[in-house]
Structure 1
Amino acid sequence: MKKILNVLLLASLLLLTACGGGDKVATNENNQANANTNAAAEKAETKDAYYPVTIETVDAQGNPVQETFEKEPERVVAVYQSAIENMLALGLEDKMVLAAQLDIDVKDEYKDAFSKVEYVKDAPSKEAVLAAKPDFIISWASYFGDKTLGDVKDWQDKGVNTYILKNSGAVKVDSLENEYDDILNLGKIFNKQKEAQAIVQSMKDRLAETEKLREGKEPVKAAILEIEDDNLFRNYGAKTVGGEIAEKAGAKLVMDEDRFGSEALLTKDPDVIFIVYFGEDKVKDQELDRFKSLPALKGLSAIKNDRVYPISLSEVYASGVRTADGIDTMIKGLYPES
């Protein structure tokens, strides 16, 4: 009898221990669940506390416009190269409900993210944009014309925020600072300030590296041009993104006129020439060969010394994150030994 009682007592003790262990496991699970809930709530509270945020942008005519974001945009329509790639660079592909009008493929590092975005080749009509039910539209100035989306105020009245990239024709003078501002403003809109600042700082740091490259050297005489016909070229001077990059990298821009011919170019005889092209790589090669084969220009030092370099329009006009590529292209052309 005593033996039976001992067995029953041992079984009871084991049962109590098991129950106690179960309670402990359940308690730990509950504590972890509560911690996760609290962390999520804290994150949401921090996110909500950030908004509203107000930024200053412009309308299609360059007039200042204030846009207040009551919350993070969730349904974004992005139209044109830099608008789309700026969003992708900040990891915001999941916010784009519609993207359109790329001039060239997105950068390789964005292709996987971009594959998840609904994309249409041509800029969508006003009706198509309305059907997408956006809460934010980011694009170029030309997209907010009378025959396209109309004035930004009309969209504000609909409760839709807008952002026009400054160097897309919205302001009088293009500048690097405008490109930096666009990226930083997008960071503010989506509470991605650290990421935006890192992108901008990397561009500034890359330009700063040229101080050592040009130390003790005369400025490199340079010209940045686009072929309009066989004897007429468009100049990308100091008041363009490309021109400003070149000057900050230590170049001396030798062409002053907005447009010039072969004779003027021969007279100034730049050491380095950058040929602006629009489109895919095959266009790059075509424009470069076309320029080098012009009979009137055979005497140019840049052609004789093989210092004519192609540069994509997307790297020097409304360039967004591709500004970094423009900086690299310029530096490699100005300092091939680097």
Structure 2
Amino acid sequence: MFLSVKKGAILCLITALIFVLAACSSSNGSSKDANTSSHEAVTDSATNASTDEKKTDAAQTTYPLSVSNYTTENGAWVAKEQTFDKAPERVVANTQGAAELMIRLGLTDKIVGVAALFGNVPDDIAEEFKKIPVLAEGYVGKEVTIGASPDLVMGRGGLFEDADWGVGTVNSLNEMSIKTFVQSTSVTDAKLDNLYQDITELGKIFNVQANAAAYIDQLKAREKALSDRASTETINYASFFDNGDGTIGVYNGTGDTFIESAMSLINIHNMLINEEGTLSLEKLIEINPDAMIISKYAGGIDPEQTIEKLLANKQLQSINAIKNKKIYVIDFNNFWGYGDSIFTGVEALADDLNL
């Protein structure tokens, strides 16, 4: 690409091209959104500029900004307001999924720590993710979290529930003048719309509303694409895991309504979502799921080995999922990261199901 001869001629050619491109840009107006059809009529550039200015003006955060978020009270999630005098500068993301969502909004440089690295980082943001200090490969504790000197701790709600485990409670962090943002996707009765709520609110908190709105548009397009390829027949599934002692447990998924909401896009449903506690293989035989899923996470037992155990278990051969070998491996972060990667997970599952 870089030639050492006839530099003067090349510079002249480049200069000429710049003037030509500038002239074309002036006549064609400002760039259209990536999703806008190329067949639309080109509008006047002055009108476009005026519209863009209005959008920019409307998207600016005025501080102090108060948003309704969450804390726990007697074991239940309740509303708690968080007030920001300015955009946070030092953020600890308590899970990989929370950090990935920040990266998607253009906020990598605000993250001073991440933990719970249990899944694959998407290729398109892998280099950005490498810039973030890792506080712990697993779940991070309160002391290490505070040691990163954050002005905001954000992420999965379950890691804010206990004063002695996880990042500390919302109230204890707030008492130290550390703001908190619990992903609404990870609290009781969450739905897919809670993801859009989180993105919108993060856009306001960090004054990146334009980024947030654009990303929501992308995700909603993926949501529609998944709905369009949904199974015509309901597929009922059950989750399972390896206990590590030679036995296999059945995971009910109670409370994971965000995951259920996303799975329902392709008409696949958790049969056990209203069950309590860890369930037995006898229960699995009783409900007879059409499909079964197991999550893969860093440091965990190889799910393929666990699947081999199931397929070899004579007691379970009457189960449709086992009889028809409809057992699927899912990435832990995609589903239990409670972020935008839920779409990647459901898309991959739809591929596995040949939808």
Q: Measure the CA separation in 2 of the matches of 1:108 and 1:151.
A: 33
Secondary structure at 1:325 match in 2: helix
Is residue 273 of structure 1 aligned with residue 262 of structure 2?
no
Of residues 319-328 and 257-266 in structure 1, the stretch that sits farther from structure 2 once superposed is: 257-266
Q: Measure the CA separation in 2 of the matches of 1:176 and 1:295.
A: 38
Q: 1:245 aligns with which of 262, 265, 288?
A: 262
Q: Which residue of 2 aligns with 1:208?
A: 224
Secondary structure at 1:320 match in 2: coil
Equivalent positions of 1:29-68 (< 5 A) are: 50-61=62-73, 62-68=77-83
The aligned amino acid for 2:306 is E
* Alignment CA distance shift 1:165-1:286 (3 Å): farther
The aligned amino acid for 2:108 is E
The aligned amino acid for 1:133 is S
Gaps of 5+ in 2: 1-55
The aligned amino acid for 2:65 is V
* Alignment CA distance shift 1:98-1:239 (3 Å): closer
Q: Which residue of 1 aligns with 2:328?
A: 309
The aligned amino acid for 2:308 is D
Q: Which residue of 2 aligns with 1:121?
A: 136
Q: Figure out how many residues of one structure are paired with residues of the other and give that number.
A: 290
Secondary structure at 1:242 match in 2: helix
The aligned amino acid for 1:206 is R
Gaps of 5+ in 1: 1-43
Q: Which residue of 2 aligns with 1:19?
A: none
| Structure 1 residue 275: Cα displacement | 2.2
- Answer with 1 or 2: which has the greater Rg: 1
Q: Which residue of 2 aligns with 1:192?
A: 208
* Alignment CA distance shift 1:268-1:320 (3 Å): same
Q: Measure the CA separation in 2 of the matches of 1:80 and 1:214.
A: 30
Contact 1:184-1:196 within 8 A present in 2 as well = yes
The CA deviation string for residues 295-328 of structure 1, in whole angstroms up to 9 with x for no partner, is: 2222333233332111133222242122112221
Q: Which residue of 1 aligns with 2:100?
A: 85
Q: Which residue of 2 aligns with 1:177?
A: 193
| Structure 1 residue 65: Cα displacement | 1.1
The CA deviation string for residues 45-66 of structure 1, in whole angstroms up to 9 with x for no partner, is: 9997633322111124422111
The aligned amino acid for 1:234 is Y
The structure richer in helix per residue is 1
TM-score (norm 1): 0.71
Is residue 294 of structure 1 aligned with residue 310 of structure 2?
no
Q: Which residue of 2 aligns with 1:37?
A: none
| Structure 1 residue 234: Cα displacement | 1.5
Secondary structure at 1:270 match in 2: coil
Secondary structure at 1:84 match in 2: helix
Q: 2:111 aligns with which of 90, 96, 114?
A: 96
Contact 2:250-2:280 within 8 A present in 1 as well = yes
TM-score (norm 2): 0.68
Of residues 91-100 and 199-208 in structure 1, the stretch that sits farther from structure 2 once superposed is: 199-208
